[in-house]
Amino acid sequence: MESGRLSVSGCIRTHPEQCMCIQPPIPGWPSNAQTNCKEKEGKKEKDLTVKPIRLKQEDAKLSIKKLVAGSIQDTDKLKPLETQVAGHGTGDKISHRGMLHHANGFVLKPAQAPPKGTREIEFYETISRSLNPVDAKLYSFMPKFYGTEKISLDGLPHSHYLVLEDLTEGMIAPCVMDIKIGAKTYGPTASAAKIAQEDAKYLGTKKPLGFSVLGIINRSGQNGSMKRYDKSFGMELQTDSVKKILQVFFNTPSEDRQVIEKLVQQFSVLLSDVQQFFETQTRYHIYASSLLLVYDYKIFSDATAKLNSDIDPQISKHVRLKIIDFAHVFPANGIKDRNFVFGLDNLCKLFADFSAK
């Protein structure tokens, strides 16, 4: 995988309590395009007396937008996203365009035809700009959004893409799992045919447990060779054999059990943050979105050579969990998203049971 980085320094504040930094290249591993920059908070607050925060936000957004646009149009840096595990452009639908990886730490998601594509773009635009605290919290569970771009590849007409944070950025050997949340995976506007089509899939997990495993990439061996599990894995799962999901994701038989325990604990912490948020939020009902779980297989080679106590400080850098895919978001009108919560509760249980084994 290429390891190009953004070549400027800057800081964009998207919410009062949130700050993203674009950092210059850091030699060696790991390196992320974005990090928290709490240590700079004090300095930032002083600056507010010089320029209103709203104007500072707009300035910063404009400059990052220009920066992204300039670098995104460099199509030599684009290639298909190797770690795409599900969605349009995978499987037998080879005529579809898939996700792209940009060497500067972004992924590009092709906008779907309206209304799905427009709904997803509008949702990212709204949430990433909103100062509402519920939206700000929700955005912290999503990949950072850098706007949309029209790009022409291989002399074809321009296509519209969402530019997003690459959730595998900086990882040497990412293991990835896409889990769609909800027993109901269609919105209130779905046709009878769409409802029938959705309800007929993932029978062992979707209705009984409120989630569907769309795809997994795991690794094995010294060189971390990659294995893909496509949607047929999730479709064939039986309700009483769901422990297979984490056995495959963590490749249990062949790897270090103590490290796996730490990974499971870290994912459980991230998962319960999302769960607590959905227990209280009544602004959105989110259908057919996924959790993307990512960890770096490199943790095994780093940690096994060391004492167990050395793993803890490292683990959070090697583990990410975010919500992706927002083509079916609807207003909640003050009502809890029980469909999403049901799936999250059962996923939390899956991790807890795996840990307790």
> Which residues are at the interface with Mg ion (CB under 5 A)?
87, 325
Does position 86 interact with ligand ADP (CB under 6 A)? The reply is yes
CB of 323 to Mg ion, least distance (A): 11
Residue 292 binding result from Mg ion, ligand ADP, none, given CB thresholds of 5 to 8 Å by partner type: ligand ADP
Interaction residues for ligand ADP, span 10-49 (CB under 6 A): none
Residue 176 binding result from ligand ADP, Mg ion, none, given CB thresholds of 5 to 8 Å by partner type: ligand ADP
Per-residue contact track with ligand ADP, 312 to 351, x per CB under 6 A? ------------xx--------------------------
Say if CB 255 and CB 146 are below 8 A apart.
no
CB of 310 to Mg ion, least distance (A): 36
Q: Residue count at the site for ligand ADP (CB under 6 A)?
A: 22
CA distance 254 to 197: 37
Residue 347 binding result from Mg ion, ligand ADP, none, given CB thresholds of 5 to 8 Å by partner type: none
Instruction: Compute CA 168 distance to the chain's CA centroid, rounded to the nearest angstrom.
Output: 9
Closer Cβ to ligand ADP, 288 or 299, answer by number: 288
Position closest to ligand ADP via CB = 87
Residue of 167, 183, 242, 291 that binds ligand ADP (CB under 6 A):
167
Give me the sign of the Cα torsion angle 138, 347, 285, 119.
Answer: positive
Q: What is the CA radius of gyration of the chain?
A: 20
Does position 84 interact with ligand ADP (CB under 6 A)? The reply is yes
Residue 209 DSSP label: H
Say if CB 221 and CB 326 are below 8 A apart.
no
Tokens of 292: 């993307």
Residue 156 DSSP label: P
CB of 120 to ligand ADP, least distance (A): 8
CA distance 268 to 277: 14
CB of 41 to ligand ADP, least distance (A): 26
For the beta carbon of residue 335, count every other beta carbon within 10 angstroms.
Answer: 10
Q: Per this entry, what is the length of the chain?
A: 357
Tokens of 352: 């807890």
Per-residue contact track with ligand ADP, 170 to 209, x per CB under 6 A? ------x-x-------------------------------
Residue 340 DSSP label: H
Tokens of 119: 């709904």
Residue 34 binding result from ligand ADP, Mg ion, none, given CB thresholds of 5 to 8 Å by partner type: none
Residue of 88, 97, 244, 317 that binds ligand ADP (CB under 6 A):
88
Per-residue contact track with ligand ADP, 213 to 252, x per CB under 6 A? --x-------------------------------------
Distance from the first to the final alpha carbon of the chain: 36
Residue 138 binding result from Mg ion, ligand ADP, none, given CB thresholds of 5 to 8 Å by partner type: none
Residue recorded with tokens 């792209």: 100
The answer, yes or no, to whether the previous bond of 188 is cis (omega within 30 of 0) is no
Residue of 135, 149, 165, 337 that binds ligand ADP (CB under 6 A):
165
CA distance 275 to 279: 6
CB of 167 to ligand ADP, least distance (A): 4
With vertex at residue 312, the alpha carbon angle to CA 306 and CA 317, rounded to the nearest 5 degrees, is 105
CA distance 119 to 114: 8
Residue 165 binding result from ligand ADP, Mg ion, none, given CB thresholds of 5 to 8 Å by partner type: ligand ADP
Closest among 44, 49, 43, 50 to 14, alpha carbons compared? 44
CB of 81 to Mg ion, least distance (A): 13
List residues binding ligand ADP (CB under 6 A): 83-88, 99, 107, 109, 143, 164-168, 176, 178, 215, 290, 292, 324-325
